[in-house]
A and B are shown apart, each in its own frame.
Chain A
Amino acid sequence: MELSPINLSLLTSGVATLINLPIAVFIGWLISKLSLKSKSIVETIVMLPLVLPPVVVGFALLKFFGIHGFGGKLVSNIFSADIAFTWIAATIAASVMSFPLMARSIISAMESIDSRFEQVARTLGAKPIQVFLTITIPLAKRGIFAGIIVGFVRALGEFGATMIFAGNIDGKSQTIPLAIFTEMQLGHTSEAGKLAIISAVIAIISIFIYNWISNEPKKDKI
């Protein structure tokens, strides 16, 4: 499968966001129920990719999913395929690097829900999973949408970890940032400029939607 940098970026960022969403929602819910100490431990782990240099994350992913790594061997045995230096590697890199930002937004939204709403729902006969689907998720939807957008934008801009783990293979793992880097190296400033503008337009539209969601009057607050 050969894709242009734009399509590859949209594919990897989209898939990464879809993978991250249920995990981030679960982590957000879990953290909102944990004690302060346990919460700090889980949050530290979740936020780790945000503070580590992206190349370090890329290196760790390569070691884990490479042909000699535990993950790489596992995937190779099951699917008879290698992950490293493919669009899947770019997706995993984007997923890991964008996860903390998405999770942060969803965690904040979940933590801000007054647990008494959930308690009332239980007294009205709802089981915990029904409370989660009918009360928790709807009350956190603003934070969840915001998390999806910041996560997607962060995934689009991912460079360091992708470069190490997925390489920079034209048509296979060359996302927009990597393509811009390559064009710059080759002196093709005009090509790099076009990609930069496209990248910026996608980011601006996304951040506009994010701000629009964040600033919309909170009708659902009493």
Chain B
Amino acid sequence: MHKKFDSFDLNCQGTFSNGITAIFGPSGSGKSTLLNCIMGFTKPDSGMVSLNGEELYNSETNINEKLENRNIGYVFQDLMLFPHMNVEKNINYGQRFSGNSIRIPHEDITETLQIASLMKRNVNNLSGGEMQRVALARALKTSPSILLLDEPLSALDANLRTTLITYLKSVNKNLSIPIVCISHSLSDVISFSDSIYVLREGEHIGHINSMQTQAYPQLFSSNDFKGFENILTGIVLAQNEDSSINIESNNKIFIATGSGFKVNQAVTLVISASDILIATENQINISARNSIEARISRIQKTSSSVLVHCELGNEGVQDKLVVQITFDALEKLNLKEGRKIFLIIKASSILVNK
């Protein structure tokens, strides 16, 4: 599929299978445009979009299926619940137009999303999480063949993210509806998706199974992502009773929080560059559980902060960690390339994914 704008070209190809697919890329990479082209909000210039073998758009045969006939569920980032209808009317809105094609029982939706008690409520009085579930239920009520979600997690706090991810997984599993959602947060993508479709500057640069962790550094090691996140691969050494995990990565031992992991299990560690502190001496009397020796390989100044690239292990070890600090910290600590430092990381700042 191709879509040209004044200062931007979108060129994509790929197939989304059952399960949850995340379209991932930095801001301006074309994620929303791709989703809009699939939905039909935006008409591509050329190419083809098909769903379960049925063509929705084909530039060669001039097929461009109307929005209402595409049978695609779409949830906007702002949810767009109809303000003049209560929860029940919002959810049932699409039913009157769907005729007899409803294949998901109402009870299955309300049970999966736990919204049975909200039916008579005014949508203005719902919490953020409740609104999300109602918007999902409204889209599901028309029994779509696929569900498209525009940045579903971006406006939610950590607790609500975890809850919504659980709901998305149960919608996908219990109701057998493939889900495609866009996100610019790598940690979110890794935590909920089965496969990851990567976009950069309008170009499709990779589509991998989430389990293919060995492909992460190649696909994601780019500092053009807002809120840089480090990705490391490792092996679980121990799952401790206090819900901490010992993980080996690059010949270093990381302590993270989490439960349900098995010894020798391969895992991915996601650490935000802004969650890492730099110390010039080893810190022993400190509550953070990780003090990792490293060496500065490069200091990169951006308009708002400094990115310190650190080599973790001995020479020859490829993996690096990037730490985001202020210009003031760079000056006060007298950081120079080649200098030995210690990276201080709280166990809870390391997101571990199976």
Contacts and interface: CB of A to CB of B under 8 A. Distances in A.
A53 to B, nearest CB: 41
A222 interface: yes
Interface string B58-87: 000000001110101110101011111000
Interface residues of B, number: 27
Interface in B121-174: 122-124, 138-139, 141-142
A40 interface: no
A126 B83 contact: no
A130 B97 contact: yes
The SS class assigned to the A binding surface is helix
A117 interface: yes
B307 interface: no
Contacts of B178: none
A37 interface: no
A220 interface: yes
A138 B41 contact: no
B22 interface: no
Contacts of B278: none
Given A125-B97, A130-B97, A119 B84 contact: no
Contacts of A222: 81, 83, 123-124
Nearest to A135: B82
Interface in A117-136: 117, 119-127, 130, 134-135
B39 A126 contact: no
Contacts of B68: 122-127
Contacts of B122: 219
A134 B141 CA distance: 18
B124 A119 contact: no
Contact of B124 (A116, A117, A130, A221): A221
Interface residues on A, range: 20 to 34
Interface in B86-138: 93-94, 97-98, 122-124, 138
A220 B84 contact: yes
B87 to A, nearest CB: 13
Contact of B93 (A116, A119, A124, A219): A124
Interface string B7-35: 00000000000000000000000000000
A114 interface: yes
B49 to A, nearest CB: 15
Given A124-B139, A125-B97, A220 B72 contact: no
A220 B94 contact: no
Interface string A188-222: 00000000000000000000000000000001111
Contacts of B41: 119
Contact of A123 (B39, B82, B84): B39
Interface of A: 114, 116-117, 119-127, 130, 134-135, 138-139, 219-222
Nearest 8 A-B pairs (CB), nearest first?
A124-B94, A125-B97, A122-B67, A220-B83, A123-B74, A138-B84, A120-B80, A220-B84
9 contacts: A114-B80, A123-B39, A124-B142, A125-B68, A125-B94, A126-B68, A134-B93, A220-B83, A221-B124
